[in-house]
Chains A and B, each alone.
Chain A
Amino acid sequence: MLRLLIIKEIRDIVGSTKFAVTFGVCSLLVLLVFIVGARAYHTAVGQHDAAKRENLRRMEGITDWMQVHDMNVYMPPQPLSALVAGVAHDIGRTVTVEGRGELTAHDSRYSDEPMLAVFRQFDLEFLFTVVLSLFAILFAFDAVSGEKERGTLRLTFASPVPRRTFIAGKLLGAYLTLVVSLLLPIAAGSALLIVMGVPMTGDDWVRLTLIIAAGFLYLGVFLSLSVLVSAMTTRSTTSFLVLLVVWIVAVLIVPRAAVLFAGRAVDVPSVDAVAAQKAKFSAGLWGDDRSAMAAFKPSKSGDMQAVMQEFQQMMQKLADDRDRKMREFASRVNEERRNRQDVQEAVAFGLARITPAACFTLAATRLAGTSFEMKQHFLAATERYQKAFGEFMVAKTGMNPGGRMVVLRVVVGDEKKPEPINTAEIPAFSYAPMQVADVAGGTALDILLLLAVNLFFIVGAVAAFLRYDVR
């Protein structure tokens, strides 16, 4: 009986013009997302390689490591961030590493190409959250009310059909149709990724699969909600209107409202305030050091070379001390800010999670490695790099270039002709994208929430239909 109902439901949906149109449009959009993603990836790789080359070109002709002051590192493009952009375009892709000091990321994609920021990205996450969820509603908004309008409900329930079975057939039939009709273009799109030469690793595939699975769970929410609403209304236009309002609130309003509310409710010191605090502290340190420098007295006079060396040693020590103190201070104020920010984020996302749209976005971006934590992850990698770079420079020059000091060198005439430095010796920056193992745990809550909401609506749909007037 259930099979019969499911098959009928699938045939009923697939046979309708509504389906032909939505299926066509969906397939096109899904394919487009993959194509756009693959091209975006290649563009990003091109930009990335060019930036890296440019950075090294700056050092061409330099013959002395002392003249290398800094190194730019760039976030390498990730295939998955081309498909689920998250915050990838908003955060800076470039970090200038000097060997010490605080690191900031600059040159985000959106700041380089503001046009792209106007309508935001067209990616898999947008497609699922906004477009496909609407299509899920289109699939099922008249599941029950439409049959009542068409008058087929009467004849159906003149047969010995348990109501539970009927509604289960509705849910499963619509869900299977939706999943299968979307899996086709998604599979084709995935094949296109390979054809278009996007180097997806095994881990990337696993994460992409999880993202799509989360997407189907999310669509399931709107599907079961649609069936629920259709089982509480007698006219399909009413069902549709109700669902449209719910959709607008859940998809467009609540996530933004939650973030705005958290911004108001939890105070986080602005970046400028923190920077001012640091600048003040830094100025104080400089003042102290200047007096120390002024008070410099060589221990033994006469030997110019030795005096210079002693002076440099003192300067280096001062710089190291200053750097240490600055780092301690900065890490304290940063941590304070970070803590406030954590609270703010917890409030924002906790609130936003009342809508499945936010759950899906959070899960998908986290799986893709483009969640709000991406910036932290990237900066942490650059911190590690800064350490390696600093050590390398110390090995090369005897000092860390990050001190912003005046370097005086006494050139003794009998040196041999200087050789250009070999930039290949500079340690390479490596950025390990998050792996499934890193992100799976963090998405569990969102996946569970999506499952729970599905279950809630399914139970609701059954309960509503048990009381439905089938006349």
Chain B
Amino acid sequence: MSQPTFEAVNLTKRYEDGVLALDHVSFEVHPGQIYAMLGANGAGKTTTINIFLNFLEPTEGEARINGVCTHTDPLAAKAQIAYVSENVMLYPAFTAMQNLEYFTRLGGRDHHTKDEYHRVLERVGLQREAHDKRLRGFSKGMRQKCGLAIAILKDAPAIVLDEPTSGLDPQAGYEFTQLLTALRDEGKAILMSTHDIFRAREIASTVGILNRGRLVMQRSAAELGGADLEQLYLEHIAGHAA
């Protein structure tokens, strides 16, 4: 099989205050796959993502993007990863276009034309009138769309998203997941954390359940078959909580 785009190897994180947030977590995400991380609040999803972005250093193990270790060669790793946060925060005094241009160029891509920026913003569903408006007045949904546009323009093989659809209305959430599947079909490897079991079931190639820092279940879509994911989730969380 091809080299995994995302690779977590025995990823362990113990915070300074002693909290063990991740406990030997290993998984892989290959090009054209979506990996959905499920887990209760505080299970360690954001911690995992933070290690992939080198915002945190793992206590043990390592995270790799296309074989590049995130904490020994962070710049090379970050050049290959695009990120959409739970709550995309952009410069409020800049317009959508300015934000898009800035972050895209920061990601190392400065050959895009204005037209391309407009096209991508339209692709993620941001109305043309909003393109040249300052971010100050944008709703959460509009900001998430801008965030995704930035990720798309970075054109990185790896895309990591932290609860990208939380707080979006059903229509916006639907459109967002449609875009993710389109990106998957373009060959991107996508790692996302979510609390939305149904959507995870719908689009994920693989589902992983984290509980108190441990990967307690991991199944591919095929393995899941017709199983009730919600039931499985509750069992795994409850089983370990007991």
A6 to B75, CA, bound (A): 20
What 0/1 pattern do residues 149 to 161 of A give for CB contact below 8 A with B? 0111011111111
Find out whether the CB atom of A12 lies under 8 angstroms from the CB atom of B93. Answer: yes
Task: Choose among A16, A154, A155, A162 the residue that contacts B150 (Cβ–Cβ < 8 A).
Answer: A155
Q: Which residues of chain A are near B110, meaning CB under 8 Å?
A: 4
By beta carbon, the residue of chain A nearest B89 is: A151
Please tell me if A470 contacts chain B, counting CB pairs below 8 Å. yes
Taking CB atoms and an 8 Å cut-off, the chain A residues in 18-68 that contact chain B are: none
Q: Which residues of chain B are near A152, meaning CB under 8 Å?
A: 89-91
Please tell me if B108 contacts chain A, counting CB pairs below 8 Å. yes
Q: With A4-B102, A4-B106, A151-B87 in contact, do A159 and B93 touch (Cβ < 8 Å)?
A: no
A158 to B51, CA, bound (A): 11
Which of B87, B103, B110: most chain A CB closer than 10 A? B103
A214 to B81, CA, bound (A): 45
Please tell me if A1 contacts chain B, counting CB pairs below 8 Å. yes
Please tell me if B36 contacts chain A, counting CB pairs below 8 Å. no
A12 to B91, CA, bound (A): 8
Find out whether the CB atom of B56 lies under 8 angstroms from the CB atom of A154. Answer: no
State the interface size on chain A (CB cutoff 8 A): 23
Min CB distance, A14 to chain B, in Å? 9
Find out whether the CB atom of B82 lies under 8 angstroms from the CB atom of A158. Answer: yes
Find out whether the CB atom of A155 lies under 8 angstroms from the CB atom of B94. Answer: no
A16 to B91, CA, bound (A): 11
Task: Choose among B75, B81, B91 the residue that contacts A162 (Cβ–Cβ < 8 A).
Answer: B75
Q: With A155-B83, A155-B147 in contact, do A160 and B76 touch (Cβ < 8 Å)?
A: yes
Give the number of residue pairs across the A-B interface with Cβ within 8 Å.
Answer: 71
Q: Which residues of chain A are near B107, meaning CB under 8 Å?
A: 159-160
What 0/1 pattern do residues 51 to 74 of B give for CB contact below 8 A with A? 001111000000000000000001
A12 to B108, CA, bound (A): 20
By beta carbon, the residue of chain B nearest A1 is: B106
Please tell me if A15 contacts chain B, counting CB pairs below 8 Å. yes
Please tell me if B105 contacts chain A, counting CB pairs below 8 Å. yes
Please tell me if B79 contacts chain A, counting CB pairs below 8 Å. yes
Please tell me if A8 contacts chain B, counting CB pairs below 8 Å. yes
Min CB distance, B24 to chain A, in Å? 22
Min CB distance, B212 to chain A, in Å? 21
Task: Choose among A8, A151, A470 the residue that contacts B55 (Cβ–Cβ < 8 A).
Answer: A470
Please tell me if A11 contacts chain B, counting CB pairs below 8 Å. yes
Task: Choose among B79, B85, B93, B106 the residue that contacts A15 (Cβ–Cβ < 8 A).
Answer: B93
Please tell me if B78 contacts chain A, counting CB pairs below 8 Å. yes
Q: Which residues of chain A are near B79, meaning CB under 8 Å?
A: 160
A53 to B179, CA, bound (A): 89
Please tell me if B92 contacts chain A, counting CB pairs below 8 Å. yes
Q: Which residues of chain A are near B85, meaning CB under 8 Å?
A: 151, 154-155
A471 to B15, CA, bound (A): 14
Taking CB atoms and an 8 Å cut-off, the chain B residues in 19-70 that contact chain A are: 50, 53-56
Q: Which residues of chain B are near A154, meaning CB under 8 Å?
A: 53, 55, 83, 85, 89
Q: Which residues of chain A are near B89, meaning CB under 8 Å?
A: 150-152, 154-155
Q: Which residues of chain A are near B105, meaning CB under 8 Å?
A: 4
A12 to B89, CA, bound (A): 14
Find out whether the CB atom of B83 lies under 8 angstroms from the CB atom of A160. Answer: no
Q: Which residues of chain B are near A159, meaning CB under 8 Å?
A: 78, 103, 106-108, 154
Min CB distance, A65 to chain B, in Å? 77
Q: Which residues of chain A are near B97, meaning CB under 8 Å?
A: none
Find out whether the CB atom of B75 lies under 8 angstroms from the CB atom of A160. Answer: yes
Task: Choose among B56, B81, B88 the residue that contacts A155 (Cβ–Cβ < 8 A).
Answer: B88
By beta carbon, the residue of chain B nearest A8 is: B102
A158 to B147, CA, bound (A): 12
Q: Which 3 residue pairs of A and B lie closest in terms of their CB atoms, listed nearest first?
A: A151-B89, A158-B83, A15-B93
Give 15 CB contacts A-B under 8 Å: A4-B105, A8-B91, A12-B93, A154-B53, A154-B83, A154-B85, A154-B89, A155-B147, A157-B54, A160-B74, A160-B75, A160-B76, A469-B55, A471-B50, A471-B55
